[in-house]
Each structure stands twice: as C-alpha cells, then as structure tokens.
Amino acid sequence: MSFDYSKTRPERTQWRDQKLSERHRKWGFNCPAIDIDFLMIEFHVGKPIAIVDYKRYTGSIKNLNQKSINAISTLASNSNIPFFVVFYWDDVWAFQITAINNIAKNILQQHKINKNKILTEQQYVSFLYKLRNIKLTKEEEKLIKFLNNKLPE
C-alpha cells in the first residue's frame, strides 16, 4: 500500500475534539499520533496491572497490527505491563480478550484463557480480580454472582 506523504487521513468519526484533530493532521504524515478512544489502565493500590484497549464488537475483529497498537504495546512492554485489546458485547456484557504483548500472552496462558474464547461478564471480572492477585471478599463474590453469565448468540 502506498501513501501520499503530503496528506494524512481525514477525520472519520467527527466526535473527537475536531479542532485539535484537524490541526494535528496539518503537521504532516511523519508526525502521527494516537487518538485513544477507550484505553483504560487497570490498577491496584496505585500500581498499574494492565493496559486495556476496549473496542465494541461490531461483527468483525479488525486488524490489531496497526501502528497505534504497536505504539501502545511498546509503552506497555517497556513498563513491564500486559496490554490487552478487549472486544465487548454491550447487549449481554461479554468480553473477548486479545493479548497484544508477550506479557499479556503469558498471563492468558497462565490463566488458561484461549485466544478467541469469549468470556461472560462474570468470567471477565473474575479475571480482572485475578490480575490483581486479590482473594475475593464475600461482598465481591456476591457482586460477581449477579453479573451477566450469558454469552452472545
């Protein structure tokens, strides 16, 4: 794929800070930036335990080898933090975890979560607690019990 180095991609969604987005695009092709839509840092007692890029599931999993994913992965790996892209279904609250860096891949392997497995909300939230090495309290167990336990159809 060839690029016109004098142009950048136009704004596609129109819901970001339009002025800054348009201005940054004028800075040229070789000055790319990531407009992070829903990147979260999962943490415990002030220490980051994972970077999660949440993406709404829309029927097809998009390419995760894009440059922006690579940039976030580099930051995460350099900080020794797992980086996951998590697709979610908001109609049933189910989640599919994709490990991006090797740290994340090792964690999924350790927790026996297969690459394309879809988790219920109960399973996913339990996984988040396990990432933190937290023994669940009775209240947390009760909270998780009332979360969704169905997979998308």
The whole-number pLDDT of residue 1 equals 45
Kindly list the domain boundaries of the chain, sorted by start residue.
36-145
The whole-number pLDDT of residue 12 equals 59
Task: Dihedral sign for Cα 68, 69, 70, 73, please.
Answer: positive
Which residue, among 116, 113, 118, 121, has the nearest Cα to 149 in the 3D structure? 121
Instruction: Identify the CATH assignment for 36-145 out of 3.40.50, 3.10.310, 3.30.70, 3.30.530.
Output: 3.10.310
The whole-number pLDDT of residue 109 equals 96
> Which mean pLDDT values do the consecutive 10-residue runs of the chain (153 residues) have?
52 64 82 78 95 86 78 95 94 95 97 92 96 93 95 91
DSSP state of 45: T
Which residue, among 20, 54, 49, has the nearest Cα to 37 in the 3D structure? 54
The whole-number pLDDT of residue 111 equals 94
DSSP state of 68: H
